[in-house]
């Protein structure tokens, strides 16, 4: 999660919403890391999770990320939760809960939907306070006073 937090801080420094993600291989090695990049790339799908999953798949040379773990600082949205399911990651580890758009247990629970053919393990709340604080600081500097 510390690596994902570093990615989040770097994204925030670029003016992106500070969310970071890391994909770990079956042995715990870092396959990829990314921060949000929607503003810079003008790409609505450039969430940290999607970018990290794409890079990990590219590094492995296949789209199936079986045995891998997606670590992200904020609970994934529906797009990112769906991408993790489709990539067949074994587990999703996240920090802060997203009550407004989370799709891994908060607002929705895409990854545990029994109608889907793959359901990753979920570990929530890892360094949640620190992950949430990065977001709070970012948005505090953007509020109109």
Please state the rounded mean pLDDT for residues 97-116. Answer: 95
Q: Work out the average pLDDT over 49-59.
A: 98
Judged against a pLDDT cut of 90, whether residue 142 lies above it is answered with: no
Q: What is the pLDDT of residue 116?
A: 92
Do the domain assignments include residue 105?
A: no
pLDDT of the residue at 143:
67
Is pLDDT above 60 for 124? Answer: yes
Residue 16 lies in a domain: yes
**pLDDT tens digits, residue range 27-43?**
999 999 999 999 999 99
Read off the pLDDT band of 64 (50, 70, 90): very high
**Active-site residue, 6 included:** no
In a domain, 122, yes or no: no
The mean pLDDT of the chain is: 96
What's the domain count of the chain? Answer: 1
Q: What is the mean pLDDT of the segment spanning 14-32? A: 97
CATH number of the domain encompassing residue 55: 3.40.140.10
Please indicate if the annotation marks 131 as binding a ligand: no
* 47 labeled binding residue: yes
* 3-state secondary structure labels for all residues of 41-81: HCCCCCCHHHHHHHHHHHHHCCCCCCCCEEEEEECCCHHHH
Residue 41 lies in a domain: yes
What is the DSSP code string of the chain?
Answer: -HHHHHHHHHHHHTTS---EEEEE-TTS-EEEEEE--HHHHT-TT--HHHHHHHHHHHHHTSS--TT-EEEEEE---HHHHHHHHHTT-SEEEEEE--TTT-TBTTS-BGGG-TTSS---EEEE-TTHHHHHHHHHHHHHTTS--
**Catalytic entry in 16, 39, 49, 99:** 49
Lowest mean pLDDT among 7-11, 30-34, 71-75, 115-119: 115-119
The reply to whether 35 falls in a domain is yes
pLDDT band at 47 (very low <50, low <70, confident <90, very high): very high
Average pLDDT over residues 129-134: 98
Query: Is 77 annotated as ligand-binding?
Result: yes
Q: Please give the residue range of the domain that contains residue 81.
A: 1-98
145 has pLDDT over 90: no
> Residue 128: pLDDT above 80?
yes
């Amino acid at each position: 999660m510390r690596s994902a937090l570093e990615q989040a801080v770097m994204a925030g420094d670029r003016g992106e919403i500070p969310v970071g993600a890391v994909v770990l291989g079956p042995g715990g090695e870092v396959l990829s890391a990314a921060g949000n990049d929607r503003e810079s790339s003008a790409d609505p799908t450039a969430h940290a999770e999607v970018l990290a999953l794409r890079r990990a798949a590219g590094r492995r040379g296949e789209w199936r990320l079986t045995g891998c773990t997606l670590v992200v600082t904020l609970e994934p949205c529906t797009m990112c939760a769906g991408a993790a399911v489709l990539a067949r990651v074994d587990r999703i580890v996240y920090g802060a809960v997203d009550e407004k758009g989370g799709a891994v247990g908060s607002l929705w629970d895409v990854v545990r939907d029994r109608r889907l053919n793959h359901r990753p393990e979920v570990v929530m709340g890892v360094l949640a306070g620190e992950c949430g604080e990065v977001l709070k600081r970012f948005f505090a500097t953007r509020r109109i006073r």
